[in-house]
Chain A
Amino acid sequence: MTAHPTALPTPAATELLVELTTTVNGDAVTASVPPRLHAADFLRQRLGLTGTHVGCEQGSCGMCTIVVDGEAVKSCLMLACQLDGRNVQTVESLAADDRLDPLQQAFKEAHALQCGFCTPGFLMTATALGYQGGCPSRAEIREEIAGVLCRCTGYENIVTAIENWFAGSARTATDEAPATGCPGGTQ
């Protein structure tokens, strides 16, 4: 960021490229990428999946959270080449045609978003939480989503949306079998 009086050596004019093969939202993807390209930039700039946002590039804010092999990860802390052989899910995978996914619908009905910049991060964090199974309490939901920051909502309605989703139609397995429903929920 800062122009220092002492400069580094001139980098090579042509960057090395590495090959990767991965699955993104169910589609097979093959690409050649610079080794320093991080996963969030790869998804946004190479695949046009701009729903994954970038907020700090140091793993603090959680805007760029995606699901890799069923777990929530911060895609700014992962290099694109590390996606090789993995199964990647982004926010674009949730809605089908004109229908919002039940998790998205729960967010909408609970007014769990305002500017919406952080929303994909929360949706993917909650998706991975659903894969873990179980019925988290409100306090547990708060802890689980604490890796994603929101400056608009004060979080209350995000917790409610996720709780309602668990109470209704959370997918609690990677085969997307609907859960029988968790207790709780306020809708």
Chain B
Amino acid sequence: MTTLERPLPADDATATPRGVIGTSVLRKEDDRLLRGDGRFTDDVEPAYLLHMAVGRCPYPHARVVRVDASRAWALDGVKHVLVGADVRAATEPLTVLRPVPGAPALPYYALAQDVATHEGQPVVSVAATSRHVAEDALELIDVEYEPLPHVVDVLAALEPDAPVLHPSVLNSNLLAANSDGSGDPEARMREADVVVEGRFRINRVTALPMETRAVVAEWRPGARELTVHVSTQVPHLIRKQLAETLRLTESDVRAVASDVGGGFGLKLGVFPEDVLASLHAMALRRPVKWVEDRAEHFRASTHARESVHDYRIAADASGRILAMTDVYATDIGGWNSPFGSAQLSSVVLNGPYRVEDGYAERRVTLTNKTPVGAYRGYGQPEVNFAYERLMDTLARRLDRDPVELRAQNMVKQQDLPWKNPTGAVYDSGDYERCLRMAAEAIGWSAHRAAGRVPRADGRLAGIGFSSFVERTGYASARFLARRGSQFGAHESVTLRANRSGGIDLYTGVSTMGQSAETAFAQVVSDVFGIDYAAVKVHAGDTGASPLNTGAFASRTMIAAAGALKEAAEELAAKTLRLAAARLGADAAVLEIAGPVVRHRDDEGVQVPLAEVFTTAITGQGIPPGEDPGLEATSHFEPSDAAYSFGTAAALVSVDPLTGEFDVERFVLVHDAGTVVNPTVVEGQVRGALAQGFGAALTEELRYDGDTGQLVNGSMLDYFVPTAADLPPLELLHTEVASPVTPFGIRGVGEVGTIPPGAAVANAICDALADFGVELSSLPITPEAVWRALADRAASEDPDDHLTPTPGDLPDGGVGY
């Protein structure tokens, strides 16, 4: 047996060589990353490499009148220059992986054609002998722009007098509107004893992976082979999109994503620079590298979340919810990016609460800003902020305990599975238990009994809750097909035995921090019986993996676990048959135990796996009727999406004079179903909470309305949490197996992004209830609290509310 991991830690892998599901084995990914031996895209350095630099539109909206690159061509070291017409002649527009239902295709080329619609949109591109020379060359290109009127506010963009971004295909900036729902919520609103409503503004943020985007493209015309090393979550989808855009076949394209320095949804699909690097490489027959710099990243990689939600909850006098509606405008930026507009605000419209009459309407709106794409949470933090703020408002209106009001309305365990108003089927769980655990852990009863007594220093304490369900994975490919999505709901793996007695595992899922290599090897070890260390994972190369879907939507494990299980079972059955022939025993009495196949009751009867595998691989000595080889590929689609759930509670102290506040405690109780690796799961939850706190408290990409410029597009001006910024986080778990996935797994990667905003806002509003403070915007800053205290908040026009569109809109809900 080959020892693939050295040294084995004394207290873990040697004691538990099997990577049994549910144990915290140490990660497969770590040794190379700790040693500086990762293979990130910028670490790929082929011979004769050239470097690309991209010139970008400095205006939010401008006509490209003239491009003169003659002086750049003359610069020593410059090999190639691309302008818009070159791209138009050689490529098709970039494709969209998840179209918005009802949206027209936008002619989104890798370089701006006549008009650029956001600051940072690529306009020219240079390949040269070094990055220095390529950037020098950009300075020599003369681009004449005619600035056009711009609009950056999402509601202003929907006004009749707004400049229209894409007049050739649309007569307004509404890319599309979709609705989902059931019952008659408007009738329930009229009948209700109480209706609470609010406008909730969600900030524009960005995923900000520590590794920016990067690509290295190589073209061998004789072999018709474009090899693209690219920092992506979806190598097989990049391959498809590049083939489409570059007018190649998929056979001509190989995409490789070795180590990816964080993705979080941002690296989902092809970007203009991937196409440009390929075009340069194909023109020059030399490899071309582009590594995005951070200033580009803030303007050319996708942003997320920005939306305005007009949310209403109707209830009777007992507090029972009668109807929930959300009409929201969501900002897509200047173009429809590959993964487009977040879709899950509609799907989990009602959170964990039981309601029959519900309605969600999404208005996807174009503005002169960087395109919006997927980001961890994908609509769920946004809608959670709206309905959980209103749950507290409703509790105050009815003079109810907000915990009891939540518990009263939560879907009960015995009522699951249950279909929500937008058609999502919540699979299983005990929502109220998580709520009660959170209330207990944060000390809710004592806090409520004590009343709002200022502390000695004048600060007021408040506790706030946020309860949620989280959609993880996808409903079947059947649903996806109905909405035109360009991918399936399954995951695929290949297992291949080798002569050293190990198993090679091939997956198209790239490694970006989610610990897939570790978890995949655990499942194989658990099902097959081989040592965890003897499973080697090869990830992210379309040339060496079965055609899969990719790592997004918290879907990898819930789909891949089934494929891994099937493939491991198939491989184990054949291994046992071959070993039985070799040992002269019945396969039924044999078992695979680490490096050997042995008799269950007689350890003296055994054969090394290396021998069995060699027998299969050479075909020498296999019994009659068996084929040579020992390899299995499996594709697996779970029967439905799985819904994670939980409740967060925040304890906050606020200075009522200044609005300054401190999150003193934060408890998250959550359920991810069966846990494959508890340490990894806790790491995922903590990491997502850190991003959740960033988006809730400090992160906001701000555009100047007059100039249309991004005013804080650098790491000096955009504040992601540092180690010194986060509050203490207390994690509690329940573990209810999901009936719709193998092993009962639920997705776990995104959960932490959802509740921080609502929980902290609710805590501040609880502390300041006597002042009538109601927070309705993110991020929550001391200034925002101070403005609310001083009644200086900008007032919203009460007649301004977004109202449901009469008539039928395309269905945009579940399955997305």
**Residue ranges of A at the interface with B (Cβ–Cβ < 8 Å):** 1-5, 7-8, 10-11, 13-14, 34, 36, 44-45, 49-58, 60-61, 63, 90-92, 94-95, 98-100, 104-105, 107-109, 111, 113-120, 123, 141-143, 145-159
Distance of A58 Cα from B680 Cα, bound (Å): 32
With A1-B295, A53-B261, A58-B714 as known contacts, state yes or no: A115 contacts B210, CB within 8 Å. Answer: yes
With A2-B56, A3-B141, A60-B714 as known contacts, state yes or no: A119 contacts B294, CB within 8 Å. Answer: no
Distance of A135 Cα from B686 Cα, bound (Å): 26
Contacts A105-B9, A115-B210 aside, 13 further interface pairs with beta carbons under 8 A come to: A2-B57, A2-B138, A3-B58, A4-B139, A11-B136, A53-B40, A100-B35, A107-B30, A115-B33, A151-B691, A152-B683, A153-B683, A154-B687
Give the tally of cross-chain contacts (CB within 8 A). Answer: 224
Whether B715 pairs with A56 at a CB distance below 8 angstroms is yes
CB within 8 Å of A: which of B493-517? 511-515
Distance of A154 Cα from B723 Cα, bound (Å): 7
B209 at interface, CB cutoff 8 A:
yes
With A5-B143, A54-B42, A113-B33 as known contacts, state yes or no: A61 contacts B294, CB within 8 Å. Answer: yes
Closest residue of B by beta carbon distance from A145: B723
27 contacting pairs across A/B (C-beta < 8 A): A1-B56, A1-B135, A2-B138, A3-B123, A3-B143, A4-B143, A5-B144, A7-B71, A13-B76, A44-B42, A50-B42, A50-B43, A53-B210, A60-B715, A61-B715, A95-B35, A100-B34, A108-B30, A108-B34, A111-B24, A116-B32, A117-B209, A118-B210, A148-B723, A154-B690, A155-B722, A156-B686
**Residue ranges of B at the interface with A (Cβ–Cβ < 8 Å):** 6-7, 9, 24, 26-27, 29-38, 40, 42-43, 45, 54-58, 71, 74-76, 123-124, 132, 135-136, 138-145, 207-212, 259-262, 264, 291, 293-296, 511-515, 679-680, 682-684, 686-687, 689-691, 714-716, 720-726, 729
Whether A61 pairs with B687 at a CB distance below 8 angstroms is no
Whether B210 pairs with A99 at a CB distance below 8 angstroms is no
Q: Which residues in B have their C-beta under 8 angstroms from that of A52?
A: 36
Whether B687 pairs with A49 at a CB distance below 8 angstroms is no
Closest residue of A by beta carbon distance from B66: A5
Q: Which of B71, B513, B514, B691 has the most CB atoms of chain A within a 10 A radius of its CB?
A: B513
With A95-B34, A115-B513 as known contacts, state yes or no: A152 contacts B724, CB within 8 Å. Answer: no
Closest residue of A by beta carbon distance from B24: A111
Q: Which of A11, A91, A107, A114 has the most CB atoms of chain B within a 10 A radius of its CB?
A: A114
Whether B34 pairs with A116 at a CB distance below 8 angstroms is yes
Q: Which residues in B have their C-beta under 8 angstroms from that of A120?
A: 36
Whether B35 pairs with A92 at a CB distance below 8 angstroms is yes
Q: Which of A57, A94, A108 has the most CB atoms of chain B within a 10 A radius of its CB?
A: A108
Distance of A25 Cα from B237 Cα, bound (Å): 41
CB distance from A38 to the nearest CB of B (A): 11
Q: Which residues in A have their C-beta under 8 angstroms from that of B722?
A: 146-147, 149, 155
Whether A123 pairs with B34 at a CB distance below 8 angstroms is yes
Closest residue of A by beta carbon distance from B718: A60
Whether B723 pairs with A58 at a CB distance below 8 angstroms is no
Whether B56 pairs with A3 at a CB distance below 8 angstroms is yes
Closest residue of A by beta carbon distance from B209: A151
Whether A55 pairs with B212 at a CB distance below 8 angstroms is yes
Distance of A94 Cα from B33 Cα, bound (Å): 12
Which of A10, A45, A117 lies in contact with B140, CB distance below 8 A?
A10
Distance of A100 Cα from B26 Cα, bound (Å): 14
Distance of A20 Cα from B274 Cα, bound (Å): 36
Distance of A115 Cα from B691 Cα, bound (Å): 15
Q: Which residues in B have their C-beta under 8 angstroms from that of A115?
A: 33, 209-211, 259-262, 511-513
Which of A3, A55, A123, A143 lies in contact with B124, CB distance below 8 A?
A3
With A119-B33, A119-B34 as known contacts, state yes or no: A111 contacts B43, CB within 8 Å. Answer: no
Whether A108 pairs with B27 at a CB distance below 8 angstroms is yes
CB distance from B212 to the nearest CB of A (A): 7
Closest residue of B by beta carbon distance from A118: B210
Q: Which 4 A-B pairs have the closest CB atoms?
A: A51-B36, A116-B33, A117-B261, A115-B513
Which of A111, A116, A147 lies in contact with B259, CB distance below 8 A?
A116
Distance of A86 Cα from B808 Cα, bound (Å): 71
Q: Which residues in B have their C-beta under 8 angstroms from that of A61?
A: 210, 294, 715
Q: Which residues in B have their C-beta under 8 angstroms from that of A116?
A: 29-30, 32-34, 38, 259, 261, 513
Q: Which residues in A have their C-beta under 8 angstroms from that of B513?
A: 113-116, 152
Whether A7 pairs with B209 at a CB distance below 8 angstroms is no
Distance of A120 Cα from B34 Cα, bound (Å): 7
Q: Which residues in B have their C-beta under 8 angstroms from that of A155?
A: 690, 721-723, 726
Whether A53 pairs with B211 at a CB distance below 8 angstroms is yes
Closest residue of A by beta carbon distance from B77: A13
Whether B36 pairs with A151 at a CB distance below 8 angstroms is no
Q: Which residues in A have their C-beta under 8 angstroms from that of B207?
A: 151
Whether B136 pairs with A151 at a CB distance below 8 angstroms is no
Whether A143 pairs with B724 at a CB distance below 8 angstroms is yes
Distance of A149 Cα from B37 Cα, bound (Å): 20
Distance of A34 Cα from B31 Cα, bound (Å): 34
CB distance from B803 to the nearest CB of A (A): 38
Closest residue of B by beta carbon distance from A158: B723
Q: Which of A13, A52, A113, A145 has the most CB atoms of chain B within a 10 A radius of its CB?
A: A113
Which of A1, A95, A146, A152 lies in contact with B723, CB distance below 8 A?
A146
CB distance from B174 to the nearest CB of A (A): 30
Q: Which residues in B have their C-beta under 8 angstroms from that of A114?
A: 262, 513-515, 683-684, 687
Distance of A115 Cα from B516 Cα, bound (Å): 11
Distance of A136 Cα from B367 Cα, bound (Å): 49
Whether A107 pairs with B34 at a CB distance below 8 angstroms is yes
Whether B56 pairs with A117 at a CB distance below 8 angstroms is no
Which of B31, B76, B687 lies in contact with A108, CB distance below 8 A?
B31
Whether B7 pairs with A7 at a CB distance below 8 angstroms is no
Whether A58 pairs with B294 at a CB distance below 8 angstroms is yes
CB distance from A68 to the nearest CB of B (A): 17
Q: Which residues in A have their C-beta under 8 angstroms from that of B143?
A: 3-5
Distance of A41 Cα from B119 Cα, bound (Å): 28
Q: Which residues in A have their C-beta under 8 angstroms from that of B723?
A: 141-143, 145-146, 148, 150, 155, 158-159
Whether B35 pairs with A104 at a CB distance below 8 angstroms is yes
CB distance from B87 to the nearest CB of A (A): 15
Which of B35, B261, B262 lies in contact with A51, CB distance below 8 A?
B35
CB distance from A75 to the nearest CB of B (A): 13
Distance of A148 Cα from B208 Cα, bound (Å): 14
Q: Which residues in A have their C-beta under 8 angstroms from that of B683?
A: 111, 114, 152-154, 157
Q: Which residues in B have their C-beta under 8 angstroms from that of A149?
A: 210, 715, 720, 722
Q: Which residues in A have their C-beta under 8 angstroms from that of B684?
A: 114
With A151-B209, A152-B513 as known contacts, state yes or no: A10 contacts B56, CB within 8 Å. Answer: no
Q: Which residues in B have their C-beta under 8 angstroms from that of A49?
A: 36
Whether A2 pairs with B55 at a CB distance below 8 angstroms is yes
Q: Which residues in B have their C-beta under 8 angstroms from that of A10?
A: 71, 74-75, 140
Whether B40 pairs with A157 at a CB distance below 8 angstroms is no
Q: Which residues in A have their C-beta under 8 angstroms from that of B31?
A: 100, 108
Q: Which residues in B have their C-beta under 8 angstroms from that of A92?
A: 35-36
Which of A98, A153, A154 lies in contact with B6, CB distance below 8 A?
A98
Which of A2, A4, A113, A154 lies in contact with B30, CB distance below 8 A?
A113
Distance of A52 Cα from B35 Cα, bound (Å): 10
CB distance from A66 to the nearest CB of B (A): 11
Closest residue of B by beta carbon distance from A55: B210
CB distance from A171 to the nearest CB of B (A): 16
CB distance from A130 to the nearest CB of B (A): 16
Whether A154 pairs with B720 at a CB distance below 8 angstroms is no
CB distance from B798 to the nearest CB of A (A): 40
Closest residue of A by beta carbon distance from B293: A57
Q: Which residues in A have their C-beta under 8 angstroms from that of B40?
A: 50, 53, 117
Whether B56 pairs with A58 at a CB distance below 8 angstroms is no
Distance of A60 Cα from B712 Cα, bound (Å): 14
Whether A113 pairs with B34 at a CB distance below 8 angstroms is yes
CB distance from B532 to the nearest CB of A (A): 15
Closest residue of B by beta carbon distance from A120: B36
CB distance from A53 to the nearest CB of B (A): 7
Distance of A116 Cα from B704 Cα, bound (Å): 35
Q: Which residues in B have their C-beta under 8 angstroms from that of A95?
A: 34-35
